[in-house]
Structure 1
Amino acid sequence: MRARELARRARALYRELFRVSKAFPTANRGAYVRAKTRAEFEKNASVEGDALEEALRLGEAQVENARASAEHLTKVFADERVHARV
């Protein structure tokens, strides 16, 4: 059961990171989050047990960081004086 629960959490984390990537105000930043997500999941595909739980906790923290970054950048880019919109 534990392995099944970890797999469920991993799938949910992957989906959530992709959802958050769509909240970024530019396509480049969203694409970066998606590429980084794919790369990290591929790198950790064979991780098991406690190491997997730790990787999931780190990923869940990254969701919150990405969400906060997307929110902040959306507010910043709403200012017409900002030139770094790419």
Structure 2
Amino acid sequence: MFLAQVHVTYKPSILDPQAEAIKNAMHRLEFNQVTAVQQGKYFEITLDVPTVQQAEKQIDAICDQLLANPNMETYRYQVKELANQ
């Protein structure tokens, strides 16, 4: 079994209004050293497959088809093998 930790964020060219609102709130709270904020989605997905290659192939498909909008978002992930349960 494998655990995939997936992070989905906007592409750098896409304006992220929620992140801008968070940055502005930080400045109002006098955290003026903050120059950029990026927010996103985080998922933990457990897969029951025999190899890390199969886990990565499935995670790529899941991200491309469901979790990320390829026009606006990018994703990255890390796959870890879970100890025998």
The TM-score, its normalising length taken from structure 2, stands at 0.30
Which protein is richer in helix relative to its size? Answer: 1
Higher relative contact order (CA 8 A, sep 6+): 2
Which protein is richer in strand relative to its size? Answer: 2
The TM-score, its normalising length taken from structure 1, stands at 0.30
